Chains A and B, each alone.
Chain A
Amino acid sequence: MSAVWRILHKDLVLELRTREAVSGLIVLVLLILLTFTFAMDPEGAGNAAPAVQWVTFVFAGLMAIQRAFLVERENGAWYGLLLCPIDRGAIFVAKMASNVIVLGLAQLVLLALLALFLGASVLAAPLAVLFVNFLGLIGFAALATLFAAISVRLRAREMMLPLLVLPLLVPLVICAVEASRIVMSGGTVASAGSWLRVLATFDVIFSVAGWMLFEQLVQE
């Protein structure tokens, strides 16, 4: 657990110092959202808000996730981490946690902008909205962190990561959009229960798989 904290602390210090991931992520979120806002009919914009939210989140998030491993590429620091006498699964957990923090901040900004630009009812059931977003965030971070670790060694990594991850994210995006639609219309967590159960299962499968498979996947 201390190895997870050490790596997470180092990543957060680096992010606070450079602010590369958060600032890039928020600018990208803003640009995608503005494009949707101008492209959509204002009448139906509120209904489309959950879909717009998750599409924006997934595409902006993939960029931020890549950044988490690119900081390890410079000077080969990645190999320094792999040499440390720790369970390499701890690296996955730390990277996933730092991605959850960075993406979570972006998600809060995104929700505020959705309310502002598209009139989304994010305050209709705020705790339920946050819960759905949290479940979606964990699943996305687990899957994307795992594949970012694999693709970071590839030459065409910027192209490979979306190609590898997007098809696997389809169930998560469908469930997150449907659950968000229900809770943004004032529905309860229970009424979105079936979608949330699939989301939670997705989270558990990819978090545990990432932790268990990481050692084998990072070995060259």
Chain B
Amino acid sequence: MAERVSGLAGGLVVHAESLGKAFGRSVVLRDLTLSVTAGEALAVFGPNGAGKSTTLRLLAGLMAPTTGELCVFGDPVAHPDVRRRIGLVAHQSFLYPDLTARENLLFYARMYGFADAEARVDAWLERVALADVAGRAVRLFSRGMEQRLSLARALLHEPDLVLLDEPWSGLDADAADWLGTMLLELRGRGRTIVVATHDFERGLAVATRVLIVHRGRVAWDAPVQADTAATLGSVYREITGAVAA
């Protein structure tokens, strides 16, 4: 694993040039240009409707851009080999409510072609503290448990690029802290992280770089520095006219 991560070091993971995305007449992204290098942890802030979720879905290959060019790991994101290197945690958990936690993870592990699917799933169930309820249907899970299982689903294949859309939403303080620790651990292991959130404090705690997206464009892009936490609120207010969360 260390070999794979070092092989990426400094390499361009995401290259998006003048991306645009429209749904019918509704234009969500316009001229979004973005580069992310390996090992960066990007926190993306912006008001509702700014285009954060759409950007993540484009990066994950769930949508095709209407205009512009997007390469992830140097290839078009639609390629299965590129998708293998991406993990996405979204608003929805992508889990089957009528399957158990273990069955859900096993299904995804086998879809990724792991020969050691069972051992891998058991390890992840332990890691997200759901081993005790592994045989329970996901329909019976609380929001926090489902979010932890969703994280296990997204990280099961050890992706090089981890995309998270509002990962702290609906979590209690303990679960949110746990998630922050998990993201810092991933960052420490050289994974590239892009997290879209309204939560400034938690986003900044894991980020090495901050982006403010407004009206479908990157309005501000800066590395995280000692004074970022103090200045971000006023910058955000100036750009978006909204008060930070």
Interface residues of B in 77-96 (CB under 8 A from A): 78, 80-81, 83-84, 86, 88, 90-96
B123 within 8 Å of A by Cβ? no
A67 CB → nearest B CB, Å: 13
Q: Hey, what's the 0/1 contact readout for A55-83 against B, CB within 8 Å counting as 1?
A: 00000000000000001001111011111
B130 within 8 Å of A by Cβ? no
Which residues of chain B are near A14, meaning CB under 8 Å?
Answer: 96, 98-99
CB within 8 Å for A84 and B90 given contacts A10-B107, A219-B64: no
Q: Hey, what's the 0/1 contact readout for B5-21 against A, CB within 8 Å counting as 1?
A: 00000000000000000
Classify chain B's interface size.
20 to 34
Contact B94 A87 (CB under 8 A): no
> Which of A71, A74, A77, A79 has the largest count of B CB atoms less than 10 A from its CB?
A77
A86 within 8 Å of B by Cβ? yes
A108 within 8 Å of B by Cβ? no
Contact A6 B90 (CB under 8 A): no
Contact B90 A71 (CB under 8 A): no
Interface residues of B in 143-158 (CB under 8 A from A): 153
Contact B92 A83 (CB under 8 A): no
Number of A interface residues in the complex (CB < 8 A): 26
Q: How many pairs, one residue from A and one from B, have CB atoms within 8 Å of each other in the complex?
A: 77
Contact A79 B92 (CB under 8 A): yes
Main SS class of interface, A: helix
Which residues of chain B are near A82, meaning CB under 8 Å?
Answer: 61-62
B60 within 8 Å of A by Cβ? yes
Contact B96 A10 (CB under 8 A): yes
Task: Give the docked Cα–Cα distance between A174 and B91 (Å).
Answer: 46
Select A75's contact among B78, B86, B95, B107, beta carbons within 8 Å: B95
> Which of A2, A3, A76, A85 has the largest count of B CB atoms less than 10 A from its CB?
A85
Residues of B bordering A, CB below 8 Å: 57, 60-64, 78, 80-81, 83-84, 86, 88, 90-99, 103, 107-108, 110-113, 138, 153
Q: List 29 A-B contacts (CB under 8 A).
A: A3-B111, A6-B107, A6-B110, A13-B103, A14-B98, A74-B97, A75-B93, A75-B94, A75-B95, A75-B96, A75-B138, A76-B91, A76-B93, A79-B62, A79-B88, A79-B92, A79-B94, A80-B108, A82-B62, A83-B60, A83-B61, A83-B94, A84-B83, A84-B112, A85-B112, A86-B80, A86-B111, A215-B78, A219-B64
Known: A10-B96, A17-B98, A18-B98. 10 other contacts (CB 8 A): A10-B107, A75-B96, A76-B90, A76-B93, A77-B94, A83-B61, A84-B111, A85-B80, A86-B111, A219-B78
Residues of A bordering B, CB below 8 Å: 2-3, 6-7, 10, 13-14, 17-18, 71, 74-77, 79-87, 215, 219-220
**List of 7 A-B pairs having minimum Cβ-Cβ separation, nearest first:** A76-B92, A80-B94, A85-B84, A85-B80, A84-B111, A220-B63, A85-B83
